[in-house]
Amino acid sequence: MPFLPEIFAMQQVQIGGSELRASRLAYGCWRIIAGGKAIEVTPDREQAARKSIMTAFDAGYTLFDHADIYSDGLGEWVFGRLLRDNKTLRDKIVLASKCGIRKADDPTPSAPYRYDFSAEHIIQSCEDSLKRLQTDRIDLYQLHRPDFLAQPEEVAQAFTKLKEQGKVREFGLSNALPSFFSLIQKSCPFKLIVNQVEISLSKLDFFRNGTMEHCMMEGITPLAWSPLAAGRLCFPGAIDLNEPGHAKRIQLRDAIDLVARERNVSRAVIAIAWLLRHPSGVVPIIGSTDPANIKDVVKATNLKLTREEWYSLMEGSVGERLP
């Protein structure tokens, strides 16, 4: 039997019932280029970003997540240059991005930090992302944080136009509660397929507010951002005893370590496997730029926690016995 390249090693899953199929883990491009426009993208920094991206690709990641605000667009820009130099890569990946957050002073010095789901902003943001990414299409486009002034019909108008033009294949939301998601969906003539929310052993909110049940009922794929709590769940150093909530963090770490020792894997693998065990089909977004960490967490895709292990970890997170 011929040797199969490593890229085929990771399980592929259907995203939100759509035609999109992607890796069980996604790679988040928030940190590939730190800073914003004021930070010069030196050849060394760009090369490091490319190394992180290609390490993820070679390890089997095929869903790459961006947003227009990540380093003021530099994340997309660097990724686009990589696609330009690797012509065959584009058709082997699912390319995702987001819009809807507008920073202060945009477009005038008096403008506040805000959210904008106007049709004009959605369409223009998409056009700008396509240029930076040097591609003719975005596979999955999401609205980043709920706009309190959103008009669902206007959002649907923008989505429909981008879809009909072939510039976006599928759409979703990010950080949306079930009620807001349903509000936008009601006006859209096609299904919204993902909800990207913060979920981890340190962030259980979306397990409690109906979001996960909503995803399961409607066939929506939850994309989990910060699944390792910005690295805190796998931080190797001592926990600062002067830090607020240190006792709870220690208890959670002890719970993770117990399962990690029994399974002979890292803390990160256990924390990701905990998310993968949920029946909603969570796709965790891995944001590390360390090649070793990018490859290590792939082990979670072949590790199924028992119900007892899963609840022992939740108990460690809650800090007390479940009611």
Question: What DSSP assignment string belongs to 42-95?
Answer: -HHHHHHHHHHHHHHHHTT--EEE--TTGGGGHHHHHHHHHHHH-TTTGGGSEE
70, 113, 115, 311: which is the annotated catalytic residue?
70
Radius of gyration of the chain (CA): 20
Q: Name the β-bridge partners of 222.
A: 195
- Which token pair is 300? 């979670």
Alpha-carbon span 212 to 234, nearest angstrom: 24
Query: Catalytic site residue 113?
Result: no
Distance CA 82, CA 62 (A): 15
Compute the distance between CA of residue 185 and CA of residue 46 in angstroms, rounded to an integer. 38
Taking the C-alpha atoms of residue 26 and residue 283, their distance in angstroms, rounded to an integer, is 7
Residue 146: asked if its preceding bond is cis (omega within 30°), the reply is no
Compute the Cα dihedral for 130, 133, 138, 141 and give only its sign: negative
Residue 63 to residue 293: CA distance in whole angstroms: 17
In three state form, how does the secondary structure of 195-259 look? EEEECECCECHHHHCCHHHHHHHHCCEEEEECCCCCCCCCCCCCCCCCCCCHHHHHHHHHHHHHH
Among 208, 227, 211, which Cα is nearest to 274's?
227
Q: Which residues are catalytic?
A: 70
